[in-house]
Amino acid sequence: MARRAGQPAQGEEFLRDAGHRVPDRRGAGLGLTINPVAALRADSRLRERVLQHLLALDADDRYGRFATPLGDAGIAAYVNRIDFAGDLCFATLEDDGSLSGFIHLARSGDVAELGASVGAGRRRQGRARRLFAAALAEAGQLGVKEVLLAVGHPAARHICRALGYAQVEGMGYPRVRVLLTAAPAVS
């Protein structure tokens, strides 16, 4: 049976107040306001959840995140070295407390190297954009002038461009430099 324009698809309901569609499994059909998952500043108390999140990445996602096919021991060593106090780390946490996304900007003076990941089942829902927006804005406020994207992942480049940050592409390392020297054109 075809649905008419403006009608929700099967499994979706309109939010009565907001007028947009969201999956009904969280009570959207009841007119409840559903807050999107926010990007929160992460500290060392989340170290174990960061480890579990990164270990859950498959081989392709690990390469996209680390620019190398990193094994479990390498990921554990990386997580143990994260300087939550000195670097910029943000996470998205789900209602059940699980970590669904993580972004780490390892700072060195006015430059930072960025690594980010969102769990496979949580992608294309705005988590990465919220992580990037929070991390890049705070990095700029702290005097970081450029952020290095080692892999130059297409999704990361797209998000930075959508947030209004200028980019310089390279052939070697890093693949992309995101310039934070000017305020982004789009928020």
54-94: pLDDT as tens digits: 999 988 888 878 888 889 999 999 999 999 999 999 998 88
The CATH homologous superfamily for domain 42-179 is: Gcn5-related N-acetyltransferase (GNAT) (3.40.630.30)
What is the percentage of the chain residues whose pLDDT exceeds 70? 74
User: Cα–Cα–Cα angle for 98, 125, 122, nearest 5°?
Assistant: 35
Higher pLDDT, 136 or 39: 136
Query: If you ran DSSP here, which 8-state letter would residue 68 be given?
Result: S
Under a CB-based contact definition with an 8 Å cutoff, are residues 100 and 53 in contact?
yes
CA 177, distance to chain mean position in Å, is 17
- Of 19, 84, 86, 92, the closest CA to residue 47 belongs to 84
Determine the number of helices (DSSP H) and then strands (DSSP E) in the chain: 5, 9
Buried-exposed string 148-159: b where 16+ CB fall within 10 A, e elsewhere = bbbbbbeebbeb
Phi and psi, residue 108, nearest 5°: -145, 95
pLDDT at 8 over 70: no
Question: Which tens digits make up the pLDDT trace of 148-160?
Answer: 887 667 888 888 8
Cα separation, 89 vs 104, in Å, equals: 5
Question: What is this structure's pTM?
Answer: 0.74
30 compared with 38, residue with greater pLDDT = 38
Q: For the chain, which residues make up each domain, given as ranges?
A: 9-35, 42-179
Length of the chain: 187
Three-class HEC string of 102-160: EEEEEEECCEEEEEEEECHHHCCCCHHHHHHHHHHHHHHHCCCCEEEECCCCHHHHHHH
